[in-house]
Amino acid sequence: MTEELAVPADDPHLWLEDVTGEDALAWVRAQNERTLGALSGSEEFEALRARVLAALDSDERIPYVRRRGEFLYNYWQDAAHPRGLWRRTTLESYRAEQPDWHVLLDLDAVAAAEGENWVWKGSAVLRPEYRLALVQLSRGGADAVVVREFDLETGDFVSGGFTLPEAKSSVGWLDADRILVGTDFGQGTLTSSGYPRVVKEWRRDTPLDTATVVYAGKVDDVSVRAYHDSTDGFERTFVRRSTTFYTAEEFVRSDDGDLVRIDVPDDAETDVHREWLLISLRTPWAVAGTTHPAGALLATPFDDFLAGGRDLTPLFTPDAHTSLTGYVWTRNHLVLSVLRDVQTRMEVLTPGPDGWSRAPLDGVREFETADVVGTDPHQSDEYLISSSGYTVPSELRLGHVGGEVEVLKRAPAFFDAEGMTVAQHFATSDDGTQVPYFVVTPPGGSTGPTLLNAYGGFEVSLRPGYNSTAGLGWLSRGGTYVVANLRGGGEYGPEWHQSALRENRSRAYEDCAAVARDLVGRGITTPERLGVRGGSNGGLLVGVMLTRYPELFGAIVCQVPLLDMKRYHLLLAGASWMAEYGDPDEPGDWEFIKEYSPYQNAEAGRPYPPTLFMTSTRDDRVHPGHARKMVAKLHDLGYDVPYHENIEGGHGAAADNEQSAFMWALTYTFLWDTLTK
């Protein structure tokens, strides 16, 4: 136990925040042993775990790819390669049932040779040659990574190449001999959220401490990063200073190193493609005599805008039922993804001498979600689109804007969906707001238990999609599966999100409670047969369901959660989320935070339903102390709640498919056993 974690009178469980402290880990091991003894080991548990693992490891899964030049790249994990293979193939080979893959990096072999529990965290590849990469590896799945330069032709890490020790770094190429790097350069170079405050230009074969400062933000910023656009004829370097989670200043770097501000609202998002600047608004913007609404997408020539021009073309304008959920460029076109009452629509926009034209992108079906998962914006109008629904496995298609669409891959069905139905309903929240939710009902109707999944934060949209673990662990056993689209999410654009920020946070919780009541009112379930599950911000959500609405639920699973909202901003990346929740050190903010903070509101003698808490020791985003302390307090109050902490896994709570299968088997076993008693 460290001196800083001495036990105060108002928080006797503070010692559990010592992530790898001997006493804290002894407590974790004891809890794990107790929980696993109760939930795992049975024939039914092992059969479920094996089924989920088989689906996660299946060779019939779609190997999703990203085009870089002539090759398609894929990262693949299966039973033989739990850490994974980074590999590539050609489009012609990819069309075959069994593509001919060339393995670039075998992470299992690297981990074994180095005695490290490496987890893949991605790569930045230098274009247009696509030979050199900055590979990012994490110990145990944490957000902090080690960066190493890798040669894709030789298949080796570059001796004497660019390397960075473990940190929450950001890296990108300027050219073959220079990179842009934000990392832990030493004392004072990180923000209070633990992300880089300083970004530098680092030249090959020189010490890191001689790298040239490009920009330095403030300690109370969230982060600073720089990135380079190497599009031929439009080469530009950008710097982004994130002042809060939702506000930033964006700069373009001139040839002499000066930074020129892109003068848009601080809470707007910008995107530059060739000659175009796109501006996505979070709040209304009055400019050049016109007020553009929150959620709008605007376009203008980039150079004209920097020169002071404000001729903005609206490409998307939201309404009460429709929001923009994303967009992506091909070489000459812009593909928009729109949600209409949480159902996907897609269209293609094309700039021309007479303005922007638009046409639908066909093939999206009801209750399915489609996403453009890959384009080649530097060279072609090719796109890869993936679609799936709650009962419809994923399909990957290759198209060219204005041309034919080709089905490349279809995923198998991992559970029998014959006779299952999907419906959308709307619940009425406390203030009259209509809150949508989807219900997947097994054959024969909702006679089994019901599981509600929700998140309600950070403008994250929960859209229909195929989920093999839910299908195997819940639907195929006769359970009803529900997904709620609460305020705080992005399903209806930024205003839907902002309506549940800070002092209005309780609206997300009221929405979740409203959906639970509506499920009962429609006869879909009863409180005793209704479970709720959430992770991260969703873990906070279900923590509030436990302490504020315990009578609505028969079981709860709370994963990698925030729970102690008095101290969340002091733990790991927590300070970066104060724009979402507020600052508990400000008395006015604490007045509304304390009303729902689960750790502070847990009390003895309440009808709390059985609750399973799950987290990861290696989660360096949401501190495992939240879950640990909550469980310890509930034990002190007389509640017998189980707890499981995976040593690896990061914020995803699992570092490989085997760990993921085990986690989901625990989750569904606990819920099923509890709700069917």
Candidate list 337, 387, 536, 616, residue with the active-site label: 536
Rounded to whole angstroms, the Cα distance separating 417 from 413 reads: 8
Candidate list 223, 497, 651, 660, residue with the active-site label: 651
H or E element: which one contains 613? Answer: strand 611-616
For residue 215, what is the DSSP state? Answer: E
Our answer to whether residue 536 is catalytic in this structure is yes
CB contact at 8 A, 566 and 590? yes
Residue carrying the six token digits 């093999």: 468
What are the C-alpha distances in Å from 150 to residues 84, 105, 160, 162, 241?
16, 9, 11, 9, 29
For residue 77, what is the DSSP state? Answer: -
CA angle 610, 611, 614 (to 5 degrees): 155
DSSP string for 415-470: S--TT-EEEEEEEE-TTS-EEEEEEEE-TT-S-S-EEEE----TT--------HHH
What are the C-alpha distances in Å from 289 to residues 177, 283, 285, 311?
47, 16, 10, 11
CB contact at 8 A, 67 and 81? no
H or E element: which one contains 47? Answer: helix 43-57
The three-class DSSP label of residue 394 is coil
Our answer to whether residue 387 is catalytic in this structure is no
Rounded to whole angstroms, the Cα distance separating 30 from 613 reads: 14
Smallest Cα–Cα separation from 563: which of 650, 627, 619?
A: 627
Give the pair of three-digit tokens for residue 37.
């003894």
Q: Which residues contact 3 (CB under 8 A, 6 or more apart)?
A: none
Give the pair of three-digit tokens for residue 467.
């989920």
The three-class DSSP label of residue 228 is strand
CA angle 246, 277, 73 (to 5 degrees): 80
**Amino acid present at 287:** V
Residue 222: Cβ-neighbour burial (10 angstroms; 0-12, 13-18, 19+): buried
Q: Which residues contact 540 (CB under 8 A, 6 or more apart)?
A: 457, 534, 561, 562, 563, 565, 598
C-beta atoms surrounding 519 within 10 Å: 26
Rounded to whole angstroms, the Cα distance separating 22 from 204 reads: 42
CA angle 65, 173, 574 (to 5 degrees): 80
C-beta atoms surrounding 501 within 10 Å: 19
The three-class DSSP label of residue 324 is strand
Smallest Cα–Cα separation from 262: which of 196, 313, 317, 308?
A: 308
Smallest Cα–Cα separation from 578: which of 243, 282, 267?
A: 243
Q: What's the farthest any 2 CA atoms get from each other in the chain?
A: 72
Residues 98, 102, 108, 109, CA torsion sign: positive
Give the pair of three-digit tokens for residue 571.
């733990």
Rounded to whole angstroms, the Cα distance separating 379 from 460 reads: 31
Active site residues: 536, 651
